[in-house]
Each structure stands twice: as C-alpha cells, then as structure tokens.
Amino acid sequence: MKAFEQLLERFKTEQKTWLVTGNAGFIGSNLAEFLLKHNQKVIGLDNFSTGYQHNIDDVLSSAGADAAKNFTFIHGDIADFETCQKACKGVDIVLHQAALGSVPRSIADPVTSNRSNITGFLNMLTAAKDAGIKRFVYASSSSVYGDSAELPKVEERTGNLLSPYAVMKMTNELYAGVFARTYGIETIGLRYFNVFGRRQDPNGAYAAVIPKWVSSLLSDEEVYINGDGETSRDFTYIDNVIQMNLLAGTTDNPAAFGEAFNVAVGGRNTLNELYGIINQELAQYIEGFKVRPAIYRDFRAGDIRHSNANIAKAQTLVGYAPTHTIEQGMKEAIAWYVKNI
C-alpha cells in the first residue's frame, strides 16, 4: 500500500488538529476540504486579501454538516503576531499557505509582499514554536531556482534569484532551516510548481494563467501569451499538492525535517502546448466551441524561462506519488471551471 493510502486509513481512526493558514484561498481551501472530509479537525486563518468567503462556504457545504463541526475560522492577518499566537492554540500540525503570491505583484510592490511573505511567515513560525507545535509545513516556490538553467530542477542547486517574491520564498526556507536546527521544530518546505485546479481565481491583475485563459475563452475575450509561447512549466494539479502537504504533515522520517521539496509531476509543457490542451478540453464540454488564436506580447519581467522538477527527493523521503498528469488534472479542472466560472 502506498504511503498516502496508508495515511488515509490512519485518518479513519486518528484525529489531529490542523491549522491551515490562507484557507479562504485556492490551495488552502482545498486542503481544508480534504482534511475535513477525512475526519480531521481544521482551524482556518485568513484575512481575505486574496481569498474569499465563498471558498469557505463551498468547503463546508462540500464536507457536510457533521464534518463542518470540526472547523473553526479565525479572521485575521499573519502580519499580526497575536493573531498567529491565537491561531496556534491546540494545534498539532501547521500547513502554512498564507502569502501574497505572484512574481509581478512583488515587483510592483515589494514592501506589501514582504509584510505577508516574510514578516507574516516569521510570525507564524515563531508562534508555532512557542505553542509547542512540532510540525510546520509551508509553501515555498519554484521561483527559488532563479536563473538556473539546469533541468530538471534539483532541490540542492538554485541560481540567482530574479524577483522579490523569489527572495521572500528563499528567506522562508532559510528561516525554516534555522528554526529546525536551533529549536527542533520539524519544518518542511514545499516548492510548488505552477499549481492549478478547482477554486483557482480567474480574476484580478495577478490571476494564474490557466483560469485566466479559460475565463477569457468562455467569455469570448482575447487571450494573451507572454513571450513566444515556448516558455515551459511543470504544471501541477491540486490533488498532487494536497497529497504532498499531508504526507509532509505526518511523515516520521527525520531526514525530511528542515528540508525543502519539489512538488510537481516531473513533466514539462510549453505555454503553447498548455493553450492547446485547454482548447481541446473546452471543446469536449462546449458544443460548437471554436479554438481562438492567442495574441503574443512581451516577455514578463522576473519570469524563469523553463521549469521542470525532479521529484525523486519527495518520492524517496516521504513517499510522494503524484496521481494526476497535466492532462488528467486539466480534465477535472476544466469540468469545474465550466460549471463555476
């Protein structure tokens, strides 16, 4: 039996209290929903800067009335230390997802991003330590690889950082490593590679490319591709990210503590290929759907040209076994987008 299947069996009889920061957002809401559906208690913390009440409502509705009783929500900001202290009371495991994402946002306003992504991170890490919480899993990013041309990306080798956001995520990893060595808190960083799936927001200046393109295509609007479309990414479906968070939250392998792991599939698709996959899937759902040519524009500042993860470290140390390729994930994601966007 695979590590994740074994964990789900344990969840039937073992109940822990998980703090999910950023639980009104895309990844946080999916983590909260999965945990509630599997007999776990969840404390959610969010300030709604990028998350939504309707995500929480959707989680509780989907989990059901009985599971919803195991959920507690705190409306607060991780940049406020007292809020972090309050959230950490009685918690067994922290899944820290709260952050101001987006490379372009950090370039436009590094101070505001820093407040959440470094001050807020250190607040949460310190509050968890002070509360005696042993396990602290946090969202890092593939942006920490910077200008490294090596493919696939291996955790031990990074390049020159290309954005304030990348600096912030690397700083998180440095703090987490120091806290593991100095205080004995079991920190594990997850370097997400272009996560997509249900509840990902298509709106706003910093919306992720997949929901933004889908929304534009459904609304018969122009679709823009930055650069020549040959930029490539390791697109990772949300279910793979849920699995890795939960394995990281429960592993008893000390070799994983104080480390950072790639969270991806180990594949690579160009933006042109991605656009083709999205159009192909939409044609399955919408009668008479016509492929719309994309409009190419300038490359975006701070973007890495190619990104592809080596996931051997996660497979070896915590038993990570991704269940969805980009094609499998896109089938599920498009079905959700068509219904909900």
Residues whose CB is less than 8 angstroms from the CB of residue 170 and which lie 6 or more positions away in sequence, other chains included: 144, 158, 161
> How far apart are alpha carbons 188 and 138 in whole angstroms?
6
Residues whose CB is less than 8 angstroms from the CB of residue 229 and which lie 6 or more positions away in sequence, other chains included: 270, 271, 272, 275, 294, 296
Judge contact between 95 and 18, C-beta under 8 A. yes
* Nearest residue to 154 (alpha-carbon basis) of 271, 3, 307: 307
Judge contact between 189 and 261, C-beta under 8 A. yes
165 is catalytic: yes
- One-letter amino acid at 324 equals H
> How far apart are alpha carbons 299 and 29 in whole angstroms?
31
Which of 138, 145, 165, 337 is the catalytic position?
165
- Residue 149's φ and ψ, nearest 5 degrees, are -90, -5
* Nearest residue to 138 (alpha-carbon basis) of 260, 16, 307, 310: 260
Distances (CA, A) of 157 to 39, 172, 261, 269, 286: 39, 17, 12, 22, 44
User: What is the DSSP-derived secondary structure letter of residue 306?
Assistant: B
Residue with tokens 């190419």: 296
* Residues with active-site annotation: 165
